[in-house]
Amino acid sequence: MMDKQIEIEVRARKALDHMKPYSPGKPVWEVQQEQGLERVIKLASNENPLGPSPKALEAMKQALSELHRYPDAQSLRLKQAIAIQYQILPEQVIVTNGGDELITLVSETFLDDQDEIIVPSPTFSEYAFGAQLLNARTIEVPLKANYEYDSEAILAAVSDRTKLVYLCSPNNPTGTFLKKQDLKHILDSLPKRVLVVVDAAYSHFASDESYTDGLSFLKEGYPLLVLHTFSKIYGLAGIRAGFGIAPEAIIQSILKVKEPFNVNALAQAAATAALGDVDHVHKSQQLVWTEKQKLYHALGKLGYGYTESMSNFILVELGEHAEKIYEQLMARGIIVRYGKQWALPLHIRVSIGTSEENESLLTALSEIGEQGYVGQKSGVRSS
Ligand SMILES: *Cc1c(COP(=O)(O)O)cnc(C)c1O
């Protein structure tokens, strides 16, 4: 035990004073312990309910006996596989310890004190985290009433200090996306010194024709970085792997701040195999697309509003009793994300699970509704 009498005079950097900790979805074991439940369903972190690609599991087994060696500092095999898949050069790729690390690296590379980043609101919190870490400012541009992107407002927010514009598409937590022509408009209007980061973590779930992850614009020469992850469709959230694609000069700059062995050997092996497992990707897409329609239908019948999603989660409007309903779901061992962290206190975000998991969620919502926590009927918001 530490002696409580001793006062620690060592001070952390000023920039950290106002840092908010990331609030992750509660892990299954924690809810099992807290609620004393055996069966817990996690629909809180947009993971792939089908699990990892079997090919990735096999590749990791093969890699186990080489774990006394340092991993490849460049993740070369994985980089090459990505380059082939996306028809780009390996020099245009950086592999990272999850997409989150890439956001931190991008922040470290481009943000000086008091520089600005532009983000939609609400969105993924890691962009603001990266900015705060570097004592840069986050300029939030609200989405429109239906959670659509507001391109003009984004452009109007640009200043002399703007370095990065983050466009999360499909956006977490709303599931809405930025249309291709709107991305082009933004790219054409921005000063060329501004780097656009398209966070395409959920790109595989986007089925709308006007969706783009931005890669075609990158190939046309726009200053753009496309972020991808192995945590969502590939089902590898636990091993930590992600990557970015950008013009070579941008990648070269980011490589300067990268730790040499940022991606572990198992992650490299798993991700390389998962990338080639087309079957697993298709199955995962099909599950999400089928289940999404079932959830829309059932949520509508329960009287809850929802936002049409191009992703593997749905933002559901439960109304004034949202927090109570969220707590009741928790008590039943169903973990979803309460919207308060995005200033959406009437909402929850539910990840689309297996058919069984979604059924359990709907049954629970229906039973909780019968106890009196019924949401106000709020019309479906479609994107
Ligand atoms: C999950 C997610 C990522 C990447 O997560 P990692 O697990 O760090 O790869 C990036 N952006 C968004 C919007 C996400 O939801």
Alpha helices (runs of H) in 276-321, residue ranges in sequence order: 278-302
Residue pLDDT, tens place only, 217-252: 999 999 999 999 999 999 999 999 999 999 999 999
One domain, residues 195 and 324: no
In a domain, 7, yes or no: no
One domain, residues 256 and 327: no
Q: Please tell me the number of Cα atoms within 13 Å of 181 on its side-chain side.
A: 2
- Residue among 301, 292, 315, 286 at smallest CA distance from 363: 301
Distance 100 CA to ligand 1 centre (A): 6
In ligand 1, the atom with minimum distance to the C-alpha of 102 is 8
What's the domain count of the chain? 2
One domain, residues 106 and 169: yes
Q: What is the 3-state secondary structure (H, E, C) of 193-260?
A: CCEEEEECCCHHHCCCCCECCCHHHHHCCCCEEEEEECCCCCCCCCCCCEEEECCHHHHHHHHCCCCC
In a domain, 8, yes or no: no
One domain, residues 34 and 98: no
Distance 262 CA to ligand 1 centre (A): 16
- What pTM value is reported for the model? 0.94
Closest residue by Cα to atom 12, ligand 1, is 201
One domain, residues 261 and 294: no
- Residue among 370, 326, 368 at smallest CA distance from 344: 326
- Say yes or no to pLDDT of 199 above 80: yes
- The best mutation among 121, 169, 172 to test binding of ligand 1, ranked by most ligand atoms within 8 Å of the C-beta, falls on 172
One domain, residues 376 and 247: no
Q: Which of 5-14, 181-190, 303-312, 355-364 has the lowest mean pLDDT?
A: 5-14
Boundary of a domain, candidates 259, 277, 295: 277
Using a 6 Å cutoff on CB, does residue 124 contact ligand 1?
Answer: yes
In a domain, 360, yes or no: yes
**pLDDT the model gives residue 20:** 80
Confidence of residue 3 (pLDDT cuts 50, 70, 90): low
Better-predicted residue by pLDDT, 7 or 49: 49
One domain, residues 272 and 283: no
**pLDDT the model gives residue 371:** 81
Closest residue by Cα to atom 11, ligand 1, is 201
Using a 6 Å cutoff on CB, does residue 170 contact ligand 1?
Answer: no
Rg from Cα positions in the chain: 21
- Say yes or no to pLDDT of 340 above 50: yes
In the chain, % of residues over pLDDT 90: 87
Distance 362 CA to ligand 1 centre (A): 26
Using a 6 Å cutoff on CB, does residue 90 contact ligand 1?
Answer: no
What CATH number should be reported for the domain holding residue 261? 3.40.640.10
**pLDDT the model gives residue 2:** 60
**pLDDT the model gives residue 379:** 46
> H or E segment at 134?
none
Using a 6 Å cutoff on CB, does residue 199 contact ligand 1?
Answer: yes
In the chain, % of residues over pLDDT 70: 96
In ligand 1, the atom with minimum distance to the C-alpha of 242 is 9
- Say yes or no to pLDDT of 375 above 60: no
Give the domain range for residue 299: 14-51+279-381
In ligand 1, the atom with minimum distance to the C-alpha of 231 is 7
**pLDDT the model gives residue 370:** 81
Q: What is the mean pLDDT of residues 31-53?
A: 92
Confidence of residue 23 (pLDDT cuts 50, 70, 90): confident
Q: Which of 28-37, 209-218, 280-289 has the lowest mean pLDDT?
A: 28-37
**pLDDT the model gives residue 377:** 46
Confidence of residue 1 (pLDDT cuts 50, 70, 90): low
- Say yes or no to pLDDT of 78 above 80: yes
**pLDDT the model gives residue 206:** 98
One domain, residues 60 and 40: no
Closest residue by Cα to atom 4, ligand 1, is 99
Task: Please state, rounded to an integer, the average pLDDT across all residues of the chain.
Answer: 94
Distance 63 CA to ligand 1 centre (A): 25
What CATH number should be reported for the domain holding residue 39? 3.90.1150.10
- Say yes or no to pLDDT of 346 above 80: yes
DSSP state of 118: E
If you search the block for the tokens 């636990």, which residue do you land on?
238
In ligand 1, the atom with minimum distance to the C-alpha of 168 is 13
One domain, residues 194 and 330: no
Closest residue by Cα to atom 2, ligand 1, is 201
- Say yes or no to pLDDT of 331 above 70: yes
Using a 6 Å cutoff on CB, does residue 351 contact ligand 1?
Answer: no
Q: What is the mean pLDDT of residues 107-123?
A: 98
- Say yes or no to pLDDT of 139 above 50: yes
- Say yes or no to pLDDT of 383 above 50: no
**pLDDT the model gives residue 19:** 85
In ligand 1, the atom with minimum distance to the C-alpha of 232 is 1
Q: What is the mean pLDDT of residues 176-199?
A: 98
Using a 6 Å cutoff on CB, does residue 47 contact ligand 1?
Answer: no
SS3 158: coil
Residue pLDDT, tens place only, 298-325: 999 999 999 999 999 999 999 999 999 9
- The best mutation among 172, 229, 243 to test binding of ligand 1, ranked by most ligand atoms within 8 Å of the C-beta, falls on 229
Question: How far, in Å, CA of 76 to CA of 356, rounded?
Answer: 40
Boundary of a domain, candidates 277, 304, 331: 277
